[in-house]
DNA sequence: ATTATATACGGAGCAATGTTCCGTTTAACA
DNA sequence: TGTTAAACGGAACATTGCTCCGTATATAAT
């Protein structure tokens, strides 16, 4: 009955500080290794993977793991946050490298992958543990602003219908993956591609077909 | 990694046999004690209660517990089934003892209690464990037929609107309790009472205000 | 009533897992 | 180079679901 665990405690939770708060070099190395290992292990074995497996894969001891992530759940949220950030950042990168529609389509695939992965995690997230509260909300809040420009650009370029609702698409894609990604990632990706392609509008002048 | 656990296995799961399959007297006593204890413990400590706590409260050893309920989950489902049955049976009992509308209202309170309790359990149920699959469906399938007569009687007696949709009401009441019951059972019960009372139609002849 | 035996009981013990403790190592800085 | 606070590793602890097996007993045939 260790019931008395207040929401935030104080124990740092490593990766949330931004990562550069006067960390000793070896500490940073450990944290990076742990998060990478966790990402991989969660992806392959699901969220029920044991802390030992993660520590071993990261090549660190239990003490090190718990020094940076006082609770198992902290590792999970840290990984999620990091993947959310990566996915958000990808929007800008893709927008810079590709034509509007291609950027949008590519980002949607990335989003699909994220949701698919997250779904693997989500099971444990929804387990009622208050540690995870607000994660999903933040999930949406962080991503939504990141995509908007992609849609805007595609609309301005006249490549998709002007009244396309970004939120609606996001929602559709995520629910598309939610159910299907686990069993057949390939299938899910194809569905998403198909779906996104359906948004496309023939650029003026070139009559396809 | 005992991953290979097929759906039904064969291990009896005690209470599902109806309870009278040539059980030795002490066995029946143990099963009853265990289910009662589980009911109480789940109600007070939630579904995360340990098997030890249940065994102790029931006054039996671990071996006995596992003899009748090969898995922890079996105890949970057994308790749920039993409570579903009790709630269903209550419909007929109440119908026999009270005027149509009162019977309906009383049963709804009972249903509210069940859902409230079940919600405490539901958290674990939704944890993805396939052992629990179909429990919720059976939940609805068992209850729905039980209520229908209550509504029918109340309609025939002219005490509620004839076009009242039983399923809709059931659904409304359960969602009413889902969210509120945990924190304030009293509040939930009052809400349900209010809601059900809203169905009432003045009996012909007596103009109430 | 006695006895035989299939059935049930109890609880110590096992294995897995999250978490803590503490002696040892090392990066950082004077 | 020496000092020291920070970080490391991993054995050990606590909890939990579950198993094993020696003991007790309800049941029924004699």
**pLDDT tens digits, B129-151:** 666 666 666 677 788 899 999 99
User: What Å value separates CA A24 and C1' C30?
Assistant: 18
Give the Cα separation of B90 and B107 in Å (integer): 7
Residue nearest to nucleotide C11 (CA to C1'): B61
Task: Assess contact for A196 and A104: CB atoms under 8 A.
Answer: yes
Interval A159-172: pLDDT, tens? 998 988 888 888 78
User: What integer pLDDT is reported at residue B12 of this predicted model?
Assistant: 63
Give the Cα separation of B79 and B6 in Å (integer): 22
Residue B50 pLDDT greater than 50, yes or no: yes
Residue nearest to nucleotide C26 (CA to C1'): A26
pLDDT category at A136 given cuts 50, 70, 90 is low
Interface A–B counts its CB contacts (< 8 A) at: 6
pLDDT category at B120 given cuts 50, 70, 90 is low
Q: Which nucleotides of D are covered by protein (CB under 7 A)?
A: 6-12, 15-22, 25-27
Which nucleotide minimizes the distance between its C1' and the CA of A69?
C19
Residues of chain B positioned with their CB less than 8 A from the CB of A127: 123, 127
For the segment B122-135, the average pLDDT, to the nearest whole number, is 60
Q: C-alpha distances in angstroms, A59 versus A23, A66, A69, A76, A79?
A: 19, 14, 15, 18, 18
CA angle B102, B175, A180 (to 5 degrees): 145
**b/e per residue B117-153 (b: at least 16 CB within 10 A):** bbbbbbbbbebeeebbeebeeebeeebeebbebbbeb
Residues of chain A positioned with their CB less than 8 A from the CB of B127: 123, 127
Q: Which nucleotides of C are covered by protein (CB under 7 A)?
A: 7-13, 16-23, 26-28
Task: Assess contact for A151 and A166: CB atoms under 8 A.
Answer: yes
pLDDT category at A63 given cuts 50, 70, 90 is very high
Which nucleotide minimizes the distance between its C1' and the CA of A73?
C18
Give the Cα separation of B153 and B148 in Å (integer): 9
User: What Å value separates CA B119 and C1' D15?
Assistant: 25
pLDDT category at A174 given cuts 50, 70, 90 is confident
Phi first, then psi: what are they for A71, rounded to 5°? -130, 155
Q: Hey, is B113 helix, strand or coil?
A: helix
Residues β-bridged to residue B200 = B160
For the segment A134-139, the average pLDDT, to the nearest whole number, is 67
User: What integer pLDDT is reported at residue B36 of this predicted model?
Assistant: 97
| Average pLDDT over chain A, rounded to an integer | 81
Contact state of A123 with B123 under an 8 Å Cβ cutoff: no
For the segment A95-114, the average pLDDT, to the nearest whole number, is 93
Give the Cα separation of B84 and B97 in Å (integer): 20
For the segment A102-110, the average pLDDT, to the nearest whole number, is 94
Q: C-alpha distances in angstroms, A81 versus A35, A69, A77, A129, A131?
A: 11, 14, 6, 17, 14
Residue of chain A whose Cα is closest to the Cα of B120? A128
Residue nearest to nucleotide C7 (CA to C1'): B24
User: What Å value separates CA A94 and C1' D21?
Assistant: 65
For the segment B1-24, the average pLDDT, to the nearest whole number, is 54
Give the Cα separation of B99 and B196 in Å (integer): 15
Give contacts of A 112-141 with B, CB under 8 A.
123, 126-128
| Average pLDDT over chain B, rounded to an integer | 81
- Numbered ranges of CATH 1.10.10 in chain B: 14-68
Which of the following CATH numbers is that of domain B80-197: 3.30.160, 1.10.357, 1.10.760, 1.10.10? 1.10.357
User: What integer pLDDT is reported at residue B110 of this predicted model?
Assistant: 93
Q: Which residue has the higher pLDDT, B21 or B2?
A: B21
User: What integer pLDDT is reported at residue B189 of this predicted model?
Assistant: 87
Lowest-pLDDT choice from A22-26, A172-176, B115-119, B198-202 = B115-119
Tokens, residue A162: 């002007």
Q: Which residue has the higher pLDDT, A40 or B167?
A: A40
Give the Cα separation of A121 and B75 in Å (integer): 27
Tokens, residue B202: 């003045």
Task: Assess contact for A87 and A108: CB atoms under 8 A.
Answer: no
Residue A208 pLDDT greater than 50, yes or no: no
- Numbered ranges of CATH 1.10.357 in chain A: 80-197
User: What integer pLDDT is reported at residue A26 of this predicted model?
Assistant: 96
Residue B202 pLDDT greater than 90, yes or no: no
User: What Å value separates CA A6 and C1' D13?
Assistant: 23
Mutation pick from A53, A120, A127 vs chain B, by most beta carbons of B within 10 Å, is A127
CATH number of B14-68: 1.10.10
Task: Assess contact for B40 and B57: CB atoms under 8 A.
Answer: yes
Q: Hey, is B186 helix, strand or coil?
A: helix
B52 interfaces chain A, CB cutoff of 8 Å: no
Residue A18 pLDDT greater than 60, yes or no: no
Q: Which residue has the higher pLDDT, B119 or B100?
A: B100
Interval B61-117: pLDDT, tens? 999 999 999 999 999 889 988 888 899 999 999 999 999 999 999 999 998 888 777
Near-strand D residues (CB closer than 7 A): A 23-24, 26-27, 29-30, 59-64, 66-68; B 24-26, 48, 50-52, 62-63, 66, 70-73
User: What integer pLDDT is reported at residue A133 of this predicted model?
Assistant: 63
User: What integer pLDDT is reported at residue B172 of this predicted model?
Assistant: 80
A50 interfaces chain B, CB cutoff of 8 Å: no
Near-strand C residues (CB closer than 7 A): A 24-26, 48, 50-52, 62-63, 66, 70-72; B 23-24, 26-27, 29-30, 59-64, 66-68
- A125 to chain B, closest Cα gap in Å: 10
């Amino acid at each position: 009955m260790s019931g008395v665990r207040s929401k935030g405690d104080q124990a740092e939770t490593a990766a949330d500080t931004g990562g550069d708060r006067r960390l000793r070099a070896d500490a940073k190395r450990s944290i990076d290794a742990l998060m990478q290992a966790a990402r991989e292990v969660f992806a392959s074995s699901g969220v029920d993977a044991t802390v030992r497996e993660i520590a071993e894969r990261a090549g660190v001891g239990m003490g090190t793991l718990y020094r940076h992530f006082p609770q198992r759940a902290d590792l999970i949220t840290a990984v999620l946050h990091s993947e959310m950030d990566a996915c958000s950042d990808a929007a800008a990168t893709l927008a810079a490298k590709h034509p509007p529609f291609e950027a949008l389509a590519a980002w949607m695939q990335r989003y699909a992958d994220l949701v698919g992965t997250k779904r693997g995690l989500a099971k444990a997230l929804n387990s009622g543990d208050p540690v995870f509260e607000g994660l999903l909300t933040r999930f949406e809040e962080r991503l939504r602003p990141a995509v908007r420009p992609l849609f805007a650009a595609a609309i301005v370029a006249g490549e998709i219908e002007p009244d396309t609702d970004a939120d609606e698409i996001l929602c559709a894609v995520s629910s598309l993956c939610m159910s299907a990604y686990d069993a057949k990632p390939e299938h899910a990706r194809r569905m998403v591609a198909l779906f996104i392609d359906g948004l496309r509008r023939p650029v003026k002048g070139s009559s396809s077909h």
